[in-house]
Amino acid sequence: MTRDYSRRDALGLLGTGATLGLAGCFGDSDSAVRISGGVGPLPMVEVWADLYEDDHDVSFDISGGGTGVGVSDVLNEQVDIAMMGRQPDESEIEQGLFAVPMLIDTVVGTVNENNPVLDEIQEHGLSREQLEAIFTREITNWGELYDTDVDEEITVYGRSDASAAYMQWGDFLGGEDHAHTENEMEEWADGNHDGDQRVAQAIGDDESAISLNNINYVYDLESGELEGDIRPVPIDLDGDGTLSEEEDFYDTREEFLAAVEDGIYPAPPAREMFLSSDGAFEDEAHEFVEWVLTEGQQYVSDNGYVPLEEDRLDEAQTNLAEGP
């Protein structure tokens, strides 16, 4: 069975911030595996669902809405599986939420391709401390960052939805043993948007802006090359003011994902993503998650994510089999 929309369509649709049923039109909703939740993992789950349907007598009813929506839906028995861009918290576990990791995803800082100091950003990168100063408004002008004559105010865009990616970005910016909450970051920002697509559009429309995006909005989905009107912000990992060869891995998605897999790109903002249920996964939902953790992992890299390491995958498979 082949669906009549692409992953790019799904990304665009979900960028509206709406919760959209994407599969109810082609399957019997009474027998479908119902999934909702995080926008970040959704493109990969859509691919998995397409592939799984080809060989199994099951259909899927999948929608976005964010991690918080997915958790609420699954705990209220409105869906069978929630997609999560973060680990479940203690209060969610106490309510019965049971989660297993499925893959690793990440976001990058993003600027417009015509940013006034793009050449300097790509040569020197920005350290975590510089990024924190920008997003917390201690630095407000691009000219403050480099030895240039640029005098251009920085516009900061953030997320207004319950974004696990934005939460992880706040954890990264805060550094070790500290974190900036999503509420704090929303207050510091010049504007906040629902979903990755709208953030990407805002960056593309504003040469002075900075924000963050999932890498699937930065690199072409097919070729893996940089595309469109936004560019990634390389991180000067050691803070020495220059981007060394080891720190320079942003030209293609393949290079970037290799750096994530090797642990060079920091976590956060790299993060595990989870599939969760209300108690143990049951019936077709359990079988699908089991497939995701076995055969499904071979498709992860080709779709802009990083597969779980072998020991982590073994742990996830064991937890799935044993249940909560």
63: domain range?
33-103+272-322
Confidence check: pLDDT of 127 > 70: yes
- Global pTM reads 0.81
Confidence of residue 30 (pLDDT cuts 50, 70, 90): low
- Say if residue 154 is in the same domain as residue 223: yes
Confidence of residue 161 (pLDDT cuts 50, 70, 90): confident
- Look up the CATH number of the domain holding residue 180: 3.40.190.10
Taking only the tens place, the pLDDT of each residue in 279-315 is: 999 999 999 999 999 999 999 988 888 999 999 999 9
The answer to the question of residue 20 being in a domain is: no
Confidence check: pLDDT of 208 > 80: yes
Give the residue among 112, 84, 111 at the shortest CA–CA distance from 99: 84
Beta strands at 271-278 and 97-105: parallel, antiparallel or unpaired:
antiparallel
- Say if residue 281 is in the same domain as residue 198: no
- Say if residue 194 is in the same domain as residue 306: no
- Say if residue 294 is in the same domain as residue 232: no
The answer to the question of residue 63 being in a domain is: yes
The total of structural domains in the chain comes to: 2
Q: Which region holds residue 60: left if phi is over 0, alpha if psi is between -120 and 50, else beta?
A: beta
Q: How far apart are CA 149 and CA 218, in angstroms?
A: 28
The answer to the question of residue 12 being in a domain is: no
- Say if residue 147 is in the same domain as residue 236: yes
The mean pLDDT of the chain is: 89
Confidence of residue 31 (pLDDT cuts 50, 70, 90): low
**Minimum mean pLDDT range among 25-34, 101-110, 112-121, 313-322:** 25-34
- Say if residue 58 is in the same domain as residue 188: no
